[in-house]
Amino acid sequence: MTPYPLKCVPIFKERIWGGRTLEAVFGKTLPPGEKIGESWELADLPHDKTTIANGAWAGRTLASVVERYPQEIAGVRDFSKPFPLLVKLLDARDVLSVQVHPDAQTCRRMGRGEPKTECWYIIDAEPGAVIYKGFKEPITRERFAQAVKNGTVAELLAKVPVEPGQCHFLPAGTAHAIGGGLLVAEIQTPSDTTYRVYDWNRVDDAGKPRQLHIEEAFESIHFDVTADRLAVTTIGRLVDCEHFKVDKGHRIRGTELLLARGHMRTILVLSGSGTMESAQADSVDFMAGDCLVVPAAYDGAVTFHTDTEYLKVTL
């Protein structure tokens, strides 16, 4: 089988804070009447596995294809499972809960959960939009506990204005929340372990508050992490951490880009359109909102039909 760029079928997640922006901006066919907050563009978790949309492997899970052809797809014979990325598009019409994801040490100590480090790329932001990341200053566990009791957690967090084109890196253990009015690309390690510690006193459609995870959150939060310690980037290499590297690309209409074989790349298209072509495989068209895994053994070229921005993720 000749490897070819694999387009991923998104998995939609209804969220209390979601909306319909993914339909308006990227033309995604969302379930009718639902507030879709997350579109999982690439996933390999026990209950959520990406399937392939195109070509000879259409309908198969990405995980099964990589397991069958690890050298051709990933470039190594002993490629680890699960697939070490989770890529999402987030439509935050309202503020998300204040939450934290544990690091590996915390997971081992508690005997449960999966570590999660992530970054947020701001695709679009309404005027005045903000995120919360880390604390204004280092605090004690006791001070945070009092804030949880008093409902004043937000007063301790760093409230950071954001604008399109920024990438914010959030290592595991960082207390954080995405504000309302944001369209975000989230790239992270393959984990859905999230501990909510504060949810703005909000209730769901049934009038019930969502579950909090106070004990787990307290075990996971790094109380010395402040916003000034967390990187913000806008061009070139956006993230370079032990788990993944993220590069921002921009190409103007009519230009070409050679794709040499050698390493696997995951491409999330933010805007524009184009075609990937190879002498050995059928051409693959892409457009804004698409997520593609380009195999390590693929050798071809990209022609950009319109001005295009994208994120390239490598391991």
Query: What pLDDT score does 260 carry?
Result: 87
CA distance from start to end of the chain: 24
- 3 state SS for 174-222: CCEEECCCEEEEEEECCCCCCEEEECCCCECCCCCECCCCHHHHHHHCC
Q: How far apart are CA 69 and CA 196, in angstroms?
A: 38
Q: Quick check: do 6-237 and 245-314 share a fold?
A: yes
> pLDDT digits over 185-220, tens only?
999 999 999 999 999 988 877 888 889 999 999 999
Q: How far apart are CA 262 and CA 76, in angstroms?
A: 10
Query: What pLDDT score does 255 carry?
Result: 95
CB within 8 Å of 77: residues ≥ 6 apart: 70, 71
Rounded to an integer, the average pLDDT of 153-169 is 97
DSSP letter, residue 31: P
6-237 CATH = 2.60.120.10
**What's the length of the chain?**
315
Residue with tokens 């604008």: 163
> pLDDT digits over 129-159, tens only?
999 999 999 999 999 999 999 999 999 999 9
CB within 8 Å of 202: residues ≥ 6 apart: 16, 209, 210
Q: How far apart are CA 291 and CA 246, in angstroms?
A: 14
With 0-12 CB in 10 A as exposed, 13-18 as middle and 19+ as buried, what is 140?
Answer: exposed
Q: How far apart are CA 130 and CA 124, in angstroms?
A: 12
Query: What pLDDT score does 241 carry?
Result: 97
Query: Residues 189, 85: contact at Cβ < 8 Å?
Result: yes
Which of these CATH numbers, 3.40.50.1970, 3.90.420.10, 3.90.1150.10, 2.60.120.10, describes 245-314?
2.60.120.10
Query: What pLDDT score does 111 carry?
Result: 96
The answer on pLDDT for 82 being more than 90 is yes
Q: Where are the domains of the chain?
A: 6-237, 245-314
Here the tokens at position 249 are: 């690309």
Helices (H) and strands (E) in the chain, counts: 6, 24
Here the tokens at position 67 are: 């397991």
Mean pLDDT of the chain: 96
Catalytically annotated residue among 196, 251, 253, 265: 196
The answer on pLDDT for 287 being more than 80 is yes
Angle at 281 (CA atoms; ends 72, 273), nearest 5 degrees: 100
pLDDT band at residue 124, thresholds of 50, 70 and 90?
Answer: very high
Catalytic residue check, 109: no
> pLDDT digits over 33-58, tens only?
999 999 999 999 999 999 999 999 99
Query: What pLDDT score does 280 carry?
Result: 87
